[in-house]
Amino acid sequence: MPAAPDVTVHPSPNCGPRRSGLRPRFIVLHYTAMTSAQAALERLCDPSAEVSAHYLISGRGEILQMVEEDQRAWHAGQGEWAGLDDINSRSIGIELDNRGDHPFSEPQMQALEALLSEIMHRHDIPPEGVIGHSCMAPGRKVDPGPRFDWARLARLGLAQPAGTGPLPGSVNAETFRDAAQVVGFTAPCDDDTLLSTVRMRFRPWGCGPLTPPDLAALPAPIDAPRGGV
């Protein structure tokens, strides 16, 4: 398990109580898409921006906490995961200082791993509860994007790994959507958006039309084989 991370508190006014007594069951990962961590921090703490997150991790691996974990930060927006809405009330948001067009730094990834381990332990969040902003808001959001190393987190038990089942003989859009919904991709979107969203999470090197490897990359429940269509 990674060592406990050092965290600097920098409170943001952009938060409130979690609704309906909900507690964190997901962790949503974002990238800031801004020029620097300082610029992102200023925006996430600006009352007029009406956005925030629980944590911000700089490219140097510095962790800033802006919202207490028992509070509702404003990071996810409209969307759905595993049939559930109001993801802000059900999650903890982590912003990563990254423009989305370059790799995530090693110090940043190490800090993220340590922070994830702590949060998952505190709130009993399983690996499948760690998702990307794109997962719950497909088409509207693409972060943390195809350059984010989900496989690295999965190897450490900090995210759900991609599927390793047998390659189906064929796949169509309906079969793929059914399998994706089982994993948690239940937010409304068209077939092309769903494919690109799933690929960003489980098969970022994938390209072109839907193929059997896209279906095989989706995690599947135990004893639930997938047949070709």
Residues carrying an active site annotation: 95
Closest CA to 163 of 152, 154, 153, 172: 154
CB-based burial label for 130 (10 Å; 0-12, 13-18, 19+):
buried
- Cα(140)–Cα(53) distance, rounded to whole angstroms? 18
- Cα(44)–Cα(48) distance, rounded to whole angstroms? 10
- Cα(127)–Cα(219) distance, rounded to whole angstroms? 12
Query: Any alpha helices (H) in the chain, and if so which ranges?
Result: 37-44, 87-90, 106-123, 133-136, 150-155, 173-183, 191-202, 212-217
